[in-house]
Structure 1
Amino acid sequence: MITMLNEEGLTFKEIEEKIFRMVCEWGQSFARDFLEKYDEFLMKNRDKEAYRNKGLRETTIKTVFGEVNYSRRVYETIRDDGLKEFVYLLDEQLHIPGVGLISQNLADQLVAGITEMSYRETATKVTEMTGQRISAMGVWKVIQTLGEKVCEEEANLVKAHKAGNVQGDIITPVLFEETDGVYVNLQREKQDMAEIKVGIAYDGWKQTGKDRFALDEKVVVAGFSKAKEFQAYREAAIAEKYNTDEIEVRLVNADGAEWIKNLSDADTVFQLDPFHRNKAIRDYVPYKEAIQEIHELLDEKDIAGLFEHLETYKNSLSDDAEIEKAEKLITYFANNRQGLLSYQDQGILLPESPKGLTYRNMGTMENHIWSTIARRMKHNHTCWSYRGGNHLAKILAKKCSGRLDEVSAKLKSPRFERGQTETIQHEILSAGTVPQKIGKGYRYPVSGHLTKLDNSSGITHQICLAMVGCCN
């Protein structure tokens, strides 16, 4: 403090930076002392017959206040199936990720940042706003690791759904669904662009203010995938939240792409997305009067009259390019004839909406395409690999669903048997070098279940904290 006060021309910005560094250094020191004392407490209170102490091992965890280097004990134990396993009781008790990984708080910062900024910008912001220095490649590695875990979770959900083991708790008589795709640029791939499929489902609209409404209980899915794969995960994600057995009517709003219509069941009500329908009219008809007449026929729900008018309009043209455009519009409307009118104008009778919800016009997909995918992945001159783009698309879908916190929560401590530990390497964020051998020559980058320190033992988390002198 005296040193800072003696500096000439000192600004509050500089004071703030110096204090921040001091606090981060104190946090690193306190965290190290706490972890090592807690580990000592666990050692003294463990079941000594079940857990054989094999010595200390150093490791590093990346936190929001910087790197914390500490030592904790590894134990040898025998599982119920008779196999030998090596565990860190400290890691299991405090849910610390595997060696060389990062804390969940820091992961939260990286995941939230990458949904808004580039990898380089995220690395810069996190470095500036926390005590942890991280590179753009470090951020990329974390996101790819978490993205892989999201994909694994999706695959497991699809399997469970196909086996009939997935059923959500939300009961709704009507399910609204909207599906579309957005093309993004690729790098180092055989093709220049690829489509990210996006789907949302919700049970209605909830009023959030005067003339303001928000979709209720949204389910958002996205990613590079084939139509059947996309459909399988979309249905599984819907079933995870909603009790699909109780749904009486399903309404789908889409742009009319063939792959989207093929996803719908025969009894699903299809509606051509109003934005795409009206855009097609503007793109293919250059005359304002003709456009107005088309909209009037749609407003009058006169579909037969609409097609008669389009044929008459086409026959009145002499320019080949205009005739070709008129034919394209007629074909597009013919392929989507059943959905040219909104679900309300189709005469669909819907059951009464659940309390607190209302039913409104569908057509939010274009906005969701922008806010979910396009704003981050399309309109800022970025290019993607299939793998990296797919991972980010799925994380963005989690954010739009209000489930972004689930992504960083996937940092779980891995469990390995003795034979598997030889091939395990943790390279994320370039963690500090750790001893290669302990005890009798085995590696122990492992965590196991803390079977002897659960609630049945009477040792609670607060008691543990008190034992190491960190609370009253």
Structure 2
Amino acid sequence: MMNSMIKENGVTFNQLEKNIYAWVCQIGREFTKEFLERYDRMLLEDRDKKKYRDKGGRQTTVKTVYGEVTYQRNVYEVTEEDGRKRFVYLLDETLDLDHVGLISTNMAELLVKGITELSYRECARQVSEMTGQTISAMGVWNVIQALGEKVCEDEAELTEEYKKGHVKGKREVPVLFEEADGVYIRLQGKDRKEEKQDKSEIKIGIAYEGWRKTGSDRYALENKVVVAGFSKAKEFQEYREAAIAQEFNLDEVDQRILNADGASWIKKVKDKSTCFQLDPFHRNKAVKEKIHEQAARDAVLELIKAEEIEEVFRYLEIYRNSLSDEAEIEDVEDLIRYYENNREGLVPYQSQNLNLPEPPEGLSYRNMGTMENHVWSVIAKRMKHGHRSWSKRGGNHLAKILAKKCSGKLYEVTERLRRPVFEEEKVEELYGAILMSAKAPKKDGKGYEYPAIGHVVGLNGKIQGERKRLLYMAGY
């Protein structure tokens, strides 16, 4: 029957779905408006009348996942102890809208999830289509900056608590694996001029307790902690340690192992007691870039694979002395210096005479070197390619949000917005009041029959347009 009605009225199921969605969203908006205004009236009645002087109502709009909700709320004049006057909205303070502006928590979460995969423009477009409202790319950007700023504040607080010795994670592991690297992204005009360079480095750090088998030949890092951002080496190290300490009890770790490319800032990250391993990808990449003859490349890589480190240096010295081209000689000398500066890490950690305890049940200790993949998945995929450029502030905020996602803690970005804001008893009271008024008959009297569909908030006013068509198609 429904199919025949749809065909008869010339409506496709796709259009029907859109119409019903728009209709339900309208009901949600009208219910929310009614709820907020009634709650505001409760605040008006319960306020300290001596402190808060009522100055009348003001209109505002909040963006929700089902569209923009425009409502009235009261503004109050408050006189401070020093005689200065200020104006407050008790409802706005209750909703805690100062965090990200007039955006609901669910809407903020939707934008955060979208921006980790999409550009600001595309995120704005898709969210606008999904929620039946209009939010601009700049609107999305403003939300992400506000949330990113809160993440930075949380990081600073955590770092200070760690310095005071107040941070100790619950996880106790015998071995902690760590990796660090950086990726350069393009800067926008103003920051490019201030930095006097086209690119700047985002530092990335990862810590995990081992590998868990997830398939026949697949492994996943266990309890991964990821941090990222534009930072100086000392600042990055302090927060990295704090983030790791928040998850793991570092007092119970017997051995820490760091895999990195040997950059100077990473040397400052490495603790003296930490075993260092030169990242295999960068170690081998240096050979391919600095040695121009294939046979010589293969010989050096074979010696490294065999862990004949002294022979590696002896071979490189002989090879350099055999060259006549100044550029090739300089490249080989660069390689020798690079290897010399990272001599301790030229062999994998398994060959560094470490007395490692047995891994926890269900985990294994495997070859390190996941950093390059994480550089891509955490930062480069979203921020580096496609001729994208960033301000230091905007890039830093997005990098931290991307790191949260990679850690499986994206929810923390909007966690501050999740605190309860409405009193439960008042909520129940308002729910009942609104629903009862929605069911009230339009007139009383003998012989009155309730309408089959009742009186729904979303149907207030004249029934026309899409709502009229939907009711007709539904058989009313």
Question: Hey, what does 1:70 align to over in structure 2?
Answer: 71
| Alpha-carbon distance in structure 2 between the residues aligned to 1:462 and 1:208 | 46
Question: Hey, what does 1:119 align to over in structure 2?
Answer: 120
Code of the aligned partner of 1:133: T
Question: Which sits farther off after the overlay, 35-44 or 256-265?
Answer: 35-44
Q: In structure 2, list runs of 5 or more residues that go unmatched.
A: 439-476
| Alpha-carbon distance in structure 2 between the residues aligned to 1:394 and 1:133 | 27
Code of the aligned partner of 1:151: C
Deviations 1:321-378 (A, max 9, x none): 3222222211111111000011001122212222222211110000000000001111
- Given that 1:53 and 1:73 are in contact with CA atoms closer than 8 Å, whether structure 2 keeps it comes out as no
**Counterparts in 2 of 1:387 and 1:96: CA distance versus 1, 3 Å:** closer
Q: How many residues align?
A: 428
Question: Hey, what does 1:350 align to over in structure 2?
Answer: 356
Matched position secondary structure for 1:267: coil
Question: Hey, what does 2:208 align to over in structure 1?
Answer: 202
Question: Hey, what does 2:221 align to over in structure 1?
Answer: 215
Matched position secondary structure for 1:167: coil
Question: Hey, what does 1:102 align to over in structure 2?
Answer: 103
> In the alignment, which of 355, 376, 379 is matched to residue 382 of structure 2?
376
Correspondence list, 1:124-135, <5 A: 124-135=125-136
**Aligned-pair distance for 1:408?**
2.4
Question: Hey, what does 1:326 align to over in structure 2?
Answer: 332
**Aligned-pair distance for 1:159?**
1.4
**Aligned-pair distance for 1:318?**
3.0
> In the alignment, which of 405, 411, 421 is matched to residue 405 of structure 1?
411
TM-score of the superposition, structure 2-length normalised? 0.80
- Given that 1:170 and 1:242 are in contact with CA atoms closer than 8 Å, whether structure 2 keeps it comes out as yes
Q: CA RMSD in A?
A: 3.4
Question: Hey, what does 1:282 align to over in structure 2?
Answer: 288
Matched position secondary structure for 1:344: helix
Deviations 1:400-446 (A, max 9, x none): 11111111233479xxxxxxxxxxxxxxxxxxxxxxxxxxxxxxxxx
**Counterparts in 2 of 1:5 and 1:454: CA distance versus 1, 3 Å:** closer
Matched position secondary structure for 1:270: strand
Bigger radius of gyration: 2
Question: Hey, what does 2:310 align to over in structure 1?
Answer: 304
Are 1:259 and 2:265 matched, yes or no? yes
Code of the aligned partner of 1:197: K
| Alpha-carbon distance in structure 1 between the residues aligned to 2:246 and 2:75 | 38
Are 1:180 and 2:181 matched, yes or no? yes
**Counterparts in 2 of 1:92 and 1:169: CA distance versus 1, 3 Å:** farther
| Alpha-carbon distance in structure 1 between the residues aligned to 2:154 and 2:113 | 20
- Given that 1:59 and 1:99 are in contact with CA atoms closer than 8 Å, whether structure 2 keeps it comes out as no
Question: Hey, what does 1:60 align to over in structure 2?
Answer: 61
**Aligned-pair distance for 1:95?**
6.3
Code of the aligned partner of 2:128: T
Question: Hey, what does 1:25 align to over in structure 2?
Answer: 26
Matched position secondary structure for 1:168: coil
Identity %: 57
| Alpha-carbon distance in structure 1 between the residues aligned to 2:167 and 2:428 | 36
Question: Hey, what does 1:35 align to over in structure 2?
Answer: 36
Correspondence list, 1:115-194, <5 A: 115-188=116-189, 189-190=192-193, 191-194=197-200
| Alpha-carbon distance in structure 1 between the residues aligned to 2:8 and 2:161 | 65
**Counterparts in 2 of 1:48 and 1:169: CA distance versus 1, 3 Å:** same
- Given that 1:167 and 1:241 are in contact with CA atoms closer than 8 Å, whether structure 2 keeps it comes out as yes
| Alpha-carbon distance in structure 2 between the residues aligned to 1:112 and 1:99 | 15
- Given that 1:251 and 1:268 are in contact with CA atoms closer than 8 Å, whether structure 2 keeps it comes out as yes
TM-score of the superposition, structure 1-length normalised? 0.81
- Given that 1:178 and 1:254 are in contact with CA atoms closer than 8 Å, whether structure 2 keeps it comes out as yes
Which has the higher relative contact order, 1 or 2, with Cα contacts under 8 A spaced 6 or more apart? 1
**Aligned-pair distance for 1:295?**
2.6
- Given that 1:95 and 1:412 are in contact with CA atoms closer than 8 Å, whether structure 2 keeps it comes out as no
Question: Hey, what does 1:239 align to over in structure 2?
Answer: 245
| Alpha-carbon distance in structure 2 between the residues aligned to 1:219 and 1:109 | 23
Matched position secondary structure for 2:180: strand
Code of the aligned partner of 2:161: A
**Counterparts in 2 of 1:18 and 1:469: CA distance versus 1, 3 Å:** closer
